[in-house]
Amino acid sequence: MGISAKYLFSIFSPMLVDEYEGDPATASGVDMGLLWQSPFPGAQMGLFLKNVYQPSGRKAYVLPMEVHVGAGYRVGTQVLLSVQYVRYDATKTSLDWDFLHHHGWMIGGEAHLLKGLVLRAGREHDFGLDDRASLSVGLGLRLEYREVGLLLDYAHRGDKKEPLGLLSEQEHRLSFACEF
């Protein structure tokens, strides 16, 4: 079982600067997850609840809760393949009726290249009204000091028109974690 707290920081695109006065929006939130190692070697299943605690903050809007249910299979010790079903806006709190009841699939994998260095890639497909899809790539770095693990992860995501998001909508995520 895992619980994570998050701090969100967003700067709106230049086209929206006048509407939001160019100020960044901030919020905080909580995510929770469970991972079950099956009796079959290499197989695991998980449940992840995103935005259990609805973030709030200056110029923030209510982020909808997401429910992820997935399965993964570890090939040897170096490669993990996974598939997830995602239910977006599970709490139905969004005022945007087009966004309600969206669901989708995610497939992905990660490969351990060197000790502590992980390469990740995946594809997400949202079967909502606009049938969105995106491709993501990322790197993870794990450093250990005594019995504490420090993790640094970076991910880049683009949309289906521009899979790597070079000319269109894109997202960069950076996260830090500490394991005791």
Write the DSSP assignment of 40-88 as a string of letters.
STTEEEEEEEEEEEEEE-TT--PPPPEEEEEEEEEETTTEEEEEEEEES
pTM (whole model) above 0.75: no
How many degrees, rounded to 5, is the angle at CA 159 between CA 118 and CA 52?
70
Q: Which amino acid is at 71?
A: A
Residue 122 CA to its chain's centroid (Å): 11
Question: Does residue 153 or residue 132 have the better pLDDT?
Answer: 153
Mean pLDDT of 50-67: 67
- The structure tokens 């005022």 sit at 95
- Asked whether the beta carbons of 59 and 76 are under 8 A apart, the reply is no
Question: Does residue 56 or residue 121 have the better pLDDT?
Answer: 121
Measured over the CA atoms of residue 159, residue 162, residue 164 and residue 169, the dihedral's sign is: negative
- The structure tokens 């969206």 sit at 102
In the chain, what are the domain boundaries? 1-72+86-92, 106-180
Q: Among 1-15, 16-30, 163-177, where is mean pLDDT lowest?
A: 16-30
Mean pLDDT of 35-60: 81
- pLDDT computed for residue 128 by the predictor: 67
Position 89 pLDDT exceeds 80: no
pLDDT tens for residues 99-138? Answer: 555 788 999 999 999 989 999 999 988 776 566 778 889 9
Measured over the CA atoms of residue 17, residue 21, residue 22 and residue 27, the dihedral's sign is: negative
Could you give phi then psi for residue 171, rounded to 5 degrees?
-140, 135
